[in-house]
Chains A and B, each alone.
Chain A
Amino acid sequence: MKDTPLSNCERDFLLKAIEEKKRLDGRQTYDYRKMKITFGTDFGCCFVDLGKTRVMAQVSGELVTPKENRPNEGIMFFNIELSPMASPAFEAGRQSELSVKLNRQLERCLRNSKCLDTESLCVVSGEKVWQIRVDVHMLNHDGNLMDAASIAAITALCHFRRPDVGIQGDDVTVYSPEERDPIPLSIYHMPISVSFSFFQQGTYLLVDPCEREERVMDGLLMIAMNKHREICSIQSSGGIMLLKEQVMRCSKIASVKVSEITELISKALENDKKARKAGGKCGFAESMPQERITALKMDETPVEMTDVTDRANDIVQKAEAPPQTYPLQSLNNSSIYQDHCGDVVEISDSEEEEVVILHPEKADKAPT
């Protein structure tokens, strides 16, 4: 499916509006869209809504053999799926340029910054370590997929609990969640990426571009930072030339935004922890908004079964009796098929023989 192309009048309108410091949705230059973070039923599942952009991240872990050059460290694996659900332009199974770019950026942001303590993932040195796998699915593309993906990934990693492991000598036992409480991963810091889009050869700058703004931008600067004002990764794409002052200004803006976002993430994690401790059901079902006109819920209902047995017996009796089956007998090298009229036809196994056409009255024997 092809995406609808951007018309010239839309492009001109957007650029003109940006020159006058106006945005389509009325935001200021440095404003983020409304962000909402919710969690799923099991640990490690997190949804992030950035305006209309929607992203889901799932963290899972399994025991594998470690890499040969790093026998003491666990493995982290990232995968960003550009689901065709998010945009008609995304195709299933094809590694598009955007998907490669997002995957690489997320890896640099989370793996190279060493935000996760990989040595704590080691169970038996050289033999068994935990492989933590983060799958991020894009559900709706309305711009700035990178920021939403990085927030979802780091929140899901903070939310995830891995099964507890016991080591007695050479035996390794993995305890199920019912036997022993699962333990959280050790996260040093939370790197979050902030995207800046540039227009008119670097003259104008917008934070958190929406999908329309992304289509008309000249270049994108992505800065990944944590709340301690340490830059984890910078990436500039699109071929625009930026001045040193511009980059410094962007990093200052990013540090402000990152601290706000980190606070939001911590609050969401706290709320979820409280809700789970209180024992209530949590997950997608509960976070479904009830006051909306487009949502509806129905409680558990019994199904009436009064005449089910009678109907079933009725149908079975009315149906024909199943055909009788006859066993197949082998004679020499060919097989004999006995059809329901009792005629015996010999079918040869050889492929060079002609196909046998069976008639109920007379049977044609294949030349043997």
Chain B
Amino acid sequence: MMEVCGSSNVTLREFGSEQSLLSRPDGSASFIQGDTSVLAAAYGPAEVKVSKEIYDRATLEVLIQPKVGLPSVRERAQEQCVRETCEASLLLSLHPRSSLTLILQLIHDDGSLLSCFLNAACVALMDAGLPMSRLFCGVTCAIDADGQIITDPTAAQEKESRALMTFAIDATERRVMMSSTRGSFSVHELQQCIAVSQKASEKIFQFYRDSVRRRYSKTL
């Protein structure tokens, strides 16, 4: 059984986010975790192609654009993780036969990329005003060679890690909505990482609240 590490390793890097920075999309946000930074844009509800329409729900499409080259299988896998999380939290049945598009552009990758995509996606969807039943956030945990748990790892820490896990945590009940893992770990370690992620998500949700409060402070 692995021991939980001391609190020195369990920190979240510096966060930053800016909303409504692009004029064309309905909602846009940039999210920065340390040096990892991502730009998200949301369009919707808009017209949908007949081949893609669903009669009782909106069709959500997620596109992840890498910085160099064309999107490959890795981007498709990340798109699927983000799409499943968003579909579980958006109220899609309010807009049948419409399309919602979420585009994520990678600006710089320094670790914890999938959780940065999830956070940027949530803030962009909030900025677009799309109805959601719950907010979500992404947290990445890494287990290094000594068995210590590191949250929000940098790229160097990710490379040295034995296992890497990303969880999408929801805001209402702090439950796991999506998990994506790589590497080998025991059941105990998994549960510890989930508990750590749930604790860390509280900080992120407080950040969402603060940034939205600041945003609308002038109109109140």
Q: Give the B-binding residues of A (Cβ under 8 A).
A: 1-2, 40-42, 45, 52, 54, 56, 58, 60, 81, 83-88, 92, 133, 135, 137, 139-142, 283-285, 288-289, 292-305, 308-309, 311-313, 315-316, 319, 322
Contacts and interface: CB of A to CB of B under 8 A. Distances in A.
Interface in B192-220: 192, 194-196, 199-200, 203, 207, 210-211, 214-215, 217-218
Interface string B21-52: 11111001010101101010101001100000
Interface string B107-118: 110100000000
Nearest first, the 9 A-B pairs at minimum CB distance are: A312-B191, A295-B18, A296-B211, A297-B16, A85-B41, A85-B103, A312-B192, A298-B15, A140-B22
A45 B110 CA distance: 15
Given A87-B24, A301-B203, A312-B195, A295 B17 contact: yes
B16 A313 contact: no
30 contacts: A58-B67, A81-B65, A85-B24, A85-B41, A86-B24, A139-B105, A140-B24, A141-B24, A283-B108, A284-B32, A284-B37, A288-B16, A293-B214, A293-B218, A295-B17, A295-B18, A296-B16, A296-B18, A296-B211, A300-B13, A301-B11, A301-B203, A302-B10, A303-B12, A305-B5, A309-B4, A311-B191, A315-B191, A319-B187, A322-B187
A293 B108 CA distance: 24
Contacts of A83: 65, 103, 105
Nearest to B218: A293
B99 interface: yes
B173 interface: no
B210 A296 contact: yes
A283 B36 CA distance: 10
Given A85-B105, A295-B17, A304 B199 contact: yes
B191 A142 contact: no
A1 B60 CA distance: 12
Contacts of A283: 35, 37, 108
Given A312-B195, A315-B191, A142 B23 contact: yes
A292 B35 CA distance: 21
Contact of A137 (B13, B105, B151, B194): B105
B105 A288 contact: no
A305 B203 contact: no
Contacts of A292: 18
Contacts of B67: 45, 58, 135, 137
Interface residues of B, number: 62
B199 A305 contact: yes
Interface of B: 3-5, 7-8, 10-25, 28, 30, 32, 34-35, 37, 39, 41, 43, 46-47, 63, 65, 67-69, 99, 101, 103, 105, 107-108, 110, 151, 187-188, 191-192, 194-196, 199-200, 203, 207, 210-211, 214-215, 217-218
A294 B21 contact: yes
A193 B45 CA distance: 37
Nearest to A290: B16
A300 B12 contact: yes
Contacts of B30: 284, 288
Given A85-B25, A285-B35, A299 B107 contact: no
A289 B214 CA distance: 14
Contacts of A2: 46-47
A54 B34 CA distance: 23
Contacts of B68: 58, 60, 133, 135
Contacts of A58: 67-68
A295 B65 contact: no
A265 B11 CA distance: 38
Given A84-B63, A295-B16, A45 B22 contact: no
A302 B107 CA distance: 26
A59 B160 CA distance: 27
